[in-house]
Chain A
Amino acid sequence: MNMRDVVTVRLRVNGVQYERVVEPRLLLSDFLRESLGLTGTHVGCEHGICGCCTVMVDGLTVRSCLMFAVQSDGAEVKTIEGLAEEGKLHPLQDAFGEHHALQCGFCTPGMLFTALEVLRENPRPTDREIREGIAGTICRCTGYHHIVEAIKAAAQRMAQEPK
């Protein structure tokens, strides 16, 4: 064990600065969950298929199981714990609750970040554009209908909100 390489990772997660010494092979998903205790990031397939572990790194969605923690050194990471601001849920979070889009809740953290990026790039998506946009995140309850409805409702609300 003591022969193994270790590296120091310094990064900001949800606005908080952290520093940890880790093995290079530690995945960002495990780093968030186990080194930082932020268990809101869910781990499904661990090989980049299911999309559950999607988080934002420097403002872009990434699969945290396909990145080593050491690669996020110096980055700004946002996890589901940081999506609500000042105790107020994000409009997407509200809409997911209202439209029963969580279901079992396992894919929800990844689905929310995926949806956030879809709406940021296309604030008024069609149903088809939403379905294609979230294709990289799998809901095994298979209740995509509620998720699409929630994203549409959030899009409307976000369009009305002053930015």
Chain B
Amino acid sequence: MKPPVFKYRRAGTVEEALSALAEYGGEAKILAGGQSLVPMMNFRLVRPAVLVDINPVQELDYIRVEDGWLRVGARTRQRSLEKSAEVRQNCPLLAEAVKWIGHPQIRNRGTVGGSLVHGDPSAELILVAMLLDAQFIIQGKGKSRTAGPGDFFKDFLTTAVNEDEILAEVSYPMAPPRSGYGFRELCIRHGDFAIVAAAVQLTVDERGRCSEAWVAVAGAGPKPLRIRGAEEALVGSDGSSRVLDAAAARVPEEVDPISDLKGSEAYRREMARVFVRRALEDAWSMVKER
């Protein structure tokens, strides 16, 4: 349970990190909060020859609101997100989801970008990014590119960030007016990996009818999924419990879970429905109060 030998490079800026990545080719890996990478190294599941430590990169540690977007630097600690008044005000769903990431000791070190690039399909931050169509800025040497979640998350533990690039920023659209959200997670103890998690956001028009709906599920496929059938069932509806039932009933057919020690495929399919239903209830009662 000790990590294998590696060469250590400390980067103080994005430029230094990119230079180190270029120097070592595919041999180097970025070390951010280390809350997923270090356990994998301790188990020797991964053996990077070089680690480029971006913890000192201050320029990627920020949370700011600009043009209707909440912009978060990739090196921002998850704990900073959790405690940020700007996040609570402008993207309360994100603030709620962060509390479900591991434990305080993990969020004190874990970074926003680290969780996103690691690409675990049960990760809360990925679920929210998928739900809200977050935008990613990927920085390479002398060039940067943007991607939406559909392009960013490729597969299980696989993202669009190449070996010579780093994730610089993720931005979330601010919660629209007259909106409500729900975030529900099934896990054995608070802080454990999610067996399934559901996130939803709804908006209503002046007449109190649902004008837009976002529904997504994590832990029920190789990456979090938008549940389009559920969204269609909600838009234009009055949010009655019959409608919420019908929307949640669309979940099992749209997810693609696996069986493992924590639950069978059938159990996950059913729990995805149940947890979407509960999240819809939360979101709708919130929107009714507005």
Q: Does A132 contact B (CB under 8 A)?
A: yes
With both chains docked as a complex, state the minimum distance between the C-beta of B269 and any C-beta of chain A, in angstroms.
27
Residues on the B chain within 8 Å of A4, using CB = 5
Give residues in B with beta carbon < 8 Å to A: 1-8, 31, 34-35, 38-39, 41-43, 51, 53, 55, 79, 102-106, 108-109, 189-191
Q: Does A71 contact B (CB under 8 A)?
A: yes
User: Which of the listed residues A24, A54, A132 has the most CB atoms from chain B within 10 Å of its own CB?
Assistant: A24
- Can you spell out 18 A-B residue pairs with CB atoms less than 8 angstroms apart? A4-B5, A24-B51, A25-B4, A25-B5, A25-B41, A48-B38, A62-B105, A62-B108, A66-B34, A66-B38, A71-B31, A114-B104, A118-B104, A132-B190, A133-B104, A135-B103, A136-B102, A136-B106
Q: Contact flags (1/0) for A44-74 with B, using CB distance below 8 Å?
A: 0111100100100000111101111011000
Contact status A136-B7, CB under 8 Å = no
A60-B108, A61-B105, A137-B105 given; name 18 further pairs at CB < 8 Å. A5-B6, A5-B8, A7-B8, A25-B2, A25-B4, A27-B3, A46-B42, A47-B42, A48-B35, A62-B105, A63-B35, A63-B105, A63-B106, A65-B38, A65-B42, A67-B34, A67-B109, A71-B55
Residues on the B chain within 8 Å of A48, using CB = 35, 38-39, 106
A67 to B38, CA, bound (A): 7
Determine the interface band of chain A, counting residues with CB < 8 A from chain B.
20 to 34
A65 to B2, CA, bound (A): 9
With both chains docked as a complex, state the minimum distance between the C-beta of A105 and any C-beta of chain B, in angstroms.
20
Q: Does A23 contact B (CB under 8 A)?
A: yes
Contact status A114-B105, CB under 8 Å = yes
Evaluate whether A24 and B8 lie within 8 angstroms (CB atoms) in the complex, with A47-B42, A71-B53, A71-B55 already known: yes
Residues on the A chain within 8 Å of B79, using CB = 60
Residues on the A chain within 8 Å of B7, using CB = 5, 24
